[in-house]
Each structure stands twice: as structure tokens, then as C-alpha cells.
Amino acid sequence: MREKLLKIISSYFSESDNNKKNWQYVLDNCPIVPSCFYLQSMVKYYVSYYSKNNAIDISFVLYDHKNPVGVVPLIARTNENHEWILTSNGSEILEPIFSKALARKTKKRLTKELKFLIYDLAKKLNIKKCQFANMSQLTLSSWYLMWAEIAKKNFSTHHICVDLSLSLEDIRLEFRKSFKPLINKGLREWKVQIYEKVSNEIFESFRMLHKSVAGRTTRSIESWQIQKEQINAGEAFLVTVVNEEDTLVGGGLFTYSRDNAFYCVGAYKRELSDKPLGHIVQMKAIETLKKNKVKWYEIGAKHLKTDGKIPTKKQLLIAHFTEGFATNIIVRQHLIVDLNYN
């Protein structure tokens, strides 16, 4: 199937490929990287994460006169009903991003061609509808507005963020009042370590802690290996907490692009749930992201009882906790489009 889909892509963009160097060149030269989902390693991660759903990486670099000018993170996978879907991050298609030097006329042409490509890929996979997301915090992209004109449904989600352009002092002023003494207490009582390069031994201990807390293996070993590679490639870091016996009791893994960071996975011993382990991990993560000059940190979703999918009690509790670190709650727009390609 992959070869058939790549053939369709090539019929629209004959020069397109998945060249790692050129992909990164576009990310380095675009006005903003609105999400970690645009990292090539994140596409690789989601293909592994959804490996049981026949996930296929069909992402590509766009060229104009042999110059790399855009990237399109795109995956085809099956859902729980064994139906194909097109997605960038497992659930929806993100807007392409382009080099800031690209002429507006060329960008408009490429965007239009991408629209027709989505239709043809969907037709090949017998996909009747697609979900799209607008990742920019400030404006609706021309890509999003193009699909909005024919969308069947639109909805919003809310996300808990930290504005890293603020000073650490100002960020701490936004913390929930009860968090400040807990963070100070935690830093006195526990040993916290930041790993921007990680050994197999350290990373495996974190993975095994996650397995122990979850009570099972939640995803493939390959997906964990990709995250370890992200750390050693400077696209992620690990924050760990150990006790006096040097036993790992908690930790968090954070992925980041040039402009945005995301809290990917955390694991904390259940018997220490009343201790401020997560508090100090978040504090150290914010400090590390500030050091690396990242602009925004997305901690997670703010679930509401009015959401289309009713959140679980656990999701509401996690959202309440993470909101205690927020400087901003942002709104993200989404579309569901019926594809009439007959």
C-alpha cells in the first residue's frame, strides 16, 4: 500500500521525498514550528505507536525548483473499525508548514495541490471524512480556512500552556499558590536529574517504572527506542527523581522543537502520590526549556465536561494538576470534512 500512496504523491509532487536534512532545513527556516508534531522523529514515533493499526509513513518534503520549501507530516493508518484514516499525529491532519522565503503565490499553489492530493489519497483508501487541526495560537491558517469552507463540523479544544518568553520569576508567579512550597519541599527532599543525553540503563529504568505504574506494557519497545533517540538527538530530555537509596521514584519525558515543547510521558510511584514528585519534574522541565530558548510549553489538555467526548475522572484530575503551572489556556480549532470525491 505504501508504494501505491507514494506513487499518488509523486504524481502531484515529482521531486518530493523524505530527506532528513532537507526536512530539518525547512523547520529551521520557517517562521514558526507550531508543534512538536512537525519533527520527523515524531512522525516516526506515531508510526511505531500505531504499528498494530498498519501505520504507514507517507510524509514528505515539498520542493520548488529543487529547493526544499515545505514539509507535510502525514500518516495513513487504520482505526478500531479497520477503516483507513489520514493523520499527522494519529488523529488529525495538520497544516503544512513552509519556508519563510517562499513566495505567497507559490505557497498558494502548493496548498491547492495538497488539497487535491488529500482527496486522491482518501479515494485510494476509501476514506469518507478527514479531521483537520489549526495549530497556530494566533491566527487561522489559509490551509484551515480552505477546509473550513466545506467542513461538516467544527469544534474547539483547550490546552494548558506556559509562555516561556516570561522570566522564571514571572512564570512562578503564575503557579497555583499551593504549588510553591511543595516545589521547594520536593527539591529539598528528592534528588532531581535532567538528562539531555541518556544511557540505555537510565532510560530502561524509566521505561520499567512506567510499565510498573501502568500495570502493563502500553506500547511497542520501538516507540520507546525512538524517544531515547530523540533525547540523544537534542529533541527531548528526561527529568528523573530518585530517593535517598538512589531508587527511581518518578520522571517525565519532554519533547521539543525550536519553538514548542510537549509533555509526552510521565511515571510516578503510586505509593508516593501524596508527594510533590510531579511538581518538581514540571519545574525542572520549565527551567530546561527556558535554557534551550523554547517559546511555548504545552503541558496537556484542559478537559471540560462540555467536551464532545466526556472526560474521565482521571483526565479531569490530571488537567486540574497541570493547570496549576499554566500561564495561558489556549484554544485550538478543529474541522471534520466529508470528502465528496465521486
> Could you tell me the CATH number of the domain that includes residue 280?
3.40.630.30
Judgement on whether residues 74 and 177 belong to the same structural domain of the protein: no
- Count how many domains the chain has: 2
Judgement on whether residues 144 and 187 belong to the same structural domain of the protein: no
Judgement on whether residues 54 and 180 belong to the same structural domain of the protein: no
β-pair partners for 328:
161
Strand pairing category for 296-301 and 153-163:
antiparallel
Nearest to 206 by CA among 238, 234, 244: 238
Nearest to 201 by CA among 163, 245, 240: 240
Judgement on whether residues 165 and 276 belong to the same structural domain of the protein: yes
Give the residue from 115, 149, 183 where a domain finishes.
Answer: 149
Give the residue from 87, 119, 149 where a domain finishes.
Answer: 149
Judgement on whether residues 144 and 165 belong to the same structural domain of the protein: no
Instruction: Answer yes or no: is 134 within a domain.
Output: yes
Instruction: Answer yes or no: is 93 within a domain.
Output: yes
Domain extent for 204: 160-331
Longest dimension (CA), the chain: 66
Concatenating the DSSP letter of every residue in 192-210 gives EEEESS--HHHHHHHHHHH
Judgement on whether residues 225 and 313 belong to the same structural domain of the protein: yes
Give the residue from 149, 168, 201 where a domain finishes.
Answer: 149
Judgement on whether residues 200 and 230 belong to the same structural domain of the protein: yes
Judgement on whether residues 238 and 301 belong to the same structural domain of the protein: yes
Report the C-alpha gap between 308 and 310 in whole angstroms: 6
| pLDDT tens sequence for the chain (342 residues) | 999 999 999 999 999 999 999 999 999 999 999 999 999 999 999 999 999 999 999 999 999 999 999 999 999 999 999 999 999 999 999 999 999 999 999 999 999 999 999 999 999 999 999 999 999 877 899 999 999 999 999 999 999 999 999 999 999 999 999 999 999 999 999 999 999 999 999 999 999 999 999 999 889 999 999 999 999 999 999 999 999 899 999 999 999 999 999 999 999 999 998 999 999 999 999 999 999 999 999 999 998 877 877 888 888 888 999 999 999 999 999 999 999 865
